[in-house]
Structure 1
């Protein structure tokens, strides 16, 4: 198969969240299965690891009634070809998002992707679009490109990474920026409620829709999690699939991670204690090998269950445990954590920043990892923690439910601990249970082995995508 991925970010070039990790791993995994994969991205000013880009061509894009330069650059990594869409006006600035002209910036990208196919005479069987930034490629293809012979019979797959971010905009830009007729808004194709909705448009115009875990695929059909798109998703529910993301087992490997003081694997779990001691020292915590160390690596936002943690933070500090928090976000959460940290400096370490090296040391040093999200489409942190033998404590939602199997002390099965309801008391109860199991050293060691042996890489997910794409081409 010839698969073209269109997305706004991708590791190792540029990243703001889990979307980049997916684009950094899925195409490579499908390439290993024998398929030709191409990834198309904007050429941002802040990109890293792309010093060897090769100029390919340029062409004009007409947008907002103006003719705009569109350059194309290229590189190859692990047999996957990456094309970068260049325009200094749109992408020659810091960061990725949160500009007033974001809708125009990504409208330009959407047109550039479609034009790229014919300008480079690419053979494309599957056009795989990701989140709202690439969503409008689907209606643009159906309304303006599909009738041309070169674009005939391309199948469109749209993946929802987080339904909360939909690309809601003023209907005026349908014509002024995207160049589509206004009747597509009036007839409901591009409209949801009283605004232009890019994600809804992709859901309607794509052949199939996927999301990043089986449970999340069910959740977004409900009024609680559907974010006002549940009605259109129910119409397309027979074309909606949940496929659990994986993690990169080469990057996330405690045996080779350069950020750790001491490497280890499932056969040398006892060596992890050296990392724990080093992290306690680094963060100014009491250096005690017996006290359970709990890690939190997250954005400090309402989605991540921070309210539950703050609600029970003082109570946690009364337990025989240590807690390390890494992340930044909403001011009220940052202030709340800092205030409690002043009371318990030897038990609570609050690090209000993004630090990749420290995050790896937290995964590779802690005994437990707390992730009580309100909702979590997939989540990667719980998978990374298991890879490093750090036992996740999660709420049963989205990909957390799909990837963490609850511990059963009688059968000695499971890979972590989970609680069902978004409730601070319930969270605290499961933390107390985890602390109880931690004291049973043989049980705990067996649980850690279960977690480290759990296979959560991209191989299984890539084969699921492969089957899905093949079925779509054979319809």
Structure 2
């Protein structure tokens, strides 16, 4: 993987949030590529329960200051960065006072999904892409982890479809069992359509359940990885209908070589 550029976009990354399948693999995969001589960038939201002082986050002024339009509202984009302890890796944080200041990730103290999770997902997707554009960094592969990050394939393929920086980028989405039981705002489809996307590419968002949001990511990806040993049956069946490379589940102890081979041969179509 030497000199390959891989952009990791995740809703959760250790050590900034508790260890889960998503946060663990969102750390282990880039660390593996970094150690192999690849170039990596990691992006995640700057949730309010991330301790900025302990993790030494600081704002990157040259990347901040842009406004993103979300459902006809201008929302300021703030970019922060931190170095992962004992690793030669940095993590970029997408921040906004309205969306990410609260001291929780996806739900309130009663376990109810935040009403604006759909807008937070739109903001995160746009924020990552706009920041990578400012960095002028063209990734070979974009690997997406977690449902809050899962609108990135949709926006990259449609809203930013003519952006030359990403013209050769391949999108890999990991599908996990960890989702949510309810659904996001029923106006989610209209908020995405406000950005000028075609009706047919956001059809699943008419009913924004976890599975339907992930189906939207699947439709706009080039390859898929099963991030959990078991994924929802609805998504398992949906994957079977798709004519694209799928890597079966690999544990944290066995994933390294499998991911490398998958990236090179199935995603980038390079011969071993």
What's the TM-score bracket when you normalise by the shorter of the two chains?
0.7 to 0.9
Aligned in 2, Cα 1:177/1:244: closer, same or farther, shift over 3 Å?
same
**Deviation digits for residues 36-82 of structure 1, max 9, x if unmatched?**
11110111222134225352421111111011110111223211221
Aligned 8 A contact 1:75 1:81 in 2 = yes
* Number of aligned residues: 251
Aligned in 2, Cα 1:41/1:194: closer, same or farther, shift over 3 Å?
closer
The structure with the larger Rg is 1
Shift of 1:148: 2.0
Match of 1:88 in 2: 97
**Deviation digits for residues 135-176 of structure 1, max 9, x if unmatched?**
111111111113122221111000011165488445532232
Match of 1:70 in 2: 77
**Deviation digits for residues 378-422 of structure 1, max 9, x if unmatched?**
xxxxxxxxxxxxxxxxxxxxxxxxxxxxxxxxxxxxxxxxxxxxx
Shift of 1:89: 1.1
- Give the whole-Å Cα distance in 1 for the aligned partners of 2:163 and 2:244: 29
Q: Does 1:139 align with 2:161?
A: no
Q: 1:244 aligns with which of 250, 264, 268?
A: 250
Match of 1:232 in 2: 238
Query: Which structure 2 segments of 5+ residues have no match?
Result: 108-113
Q: Does 1:13 align with 2:22?
A: no
Aligned 8 A contact 2:224 2:247 in 1 = yes
Shift of 1:245: 2.8
**Deviation digits for residues 191-245 of structure 1, max 9, x if unmatched?**
34961421110111100011125x53xxx5xxxx41x334421112642211313
Aligned in 2, Cα 1:71/1:182: closer, same or farther, shift over 3 Å?
closer
Match of 1:401 in 2: none
Q: 1:29 aligns with which of 23, 27, 32?
A: 32
Q: Does 1:473 align with 2:268?
A: yes
Q: 1:124 aligns with which of 119, 139, 142?
A: 139
Match of 2:202 in 1: 190
- Give the whole-Å Cα distance in 1 for the aligned partners of 2:195 and 2:96: 22
Match of 1:97 in 2: 106
- Give the whole-Å Cα distance in 2 for the aligned partners of 1:162 and 1:79: 30
More helix by share: 1
Structure 1-normalised TM-score? 0.49
Match of 2:124 in 1: 109
SS in 2 for 1:229: helix
SS in 1 for 2:55: coil
Aligned in 2, Cα 1:146/1:211: closer, same or farther, shift over 3 Å?
same
**Deviation digits for residues 104-151 of structure 1, max 9, x if unmatched?**
112111110111111111231111111211111111111111312222
Q: Does 1:61 align with 2:68?
A: yes
Q: 1:50 aligns with which of 50, 55, 64?
A: 55
Query: Which structure 1 segments of 5+ residues have no match?
Result: 247-455
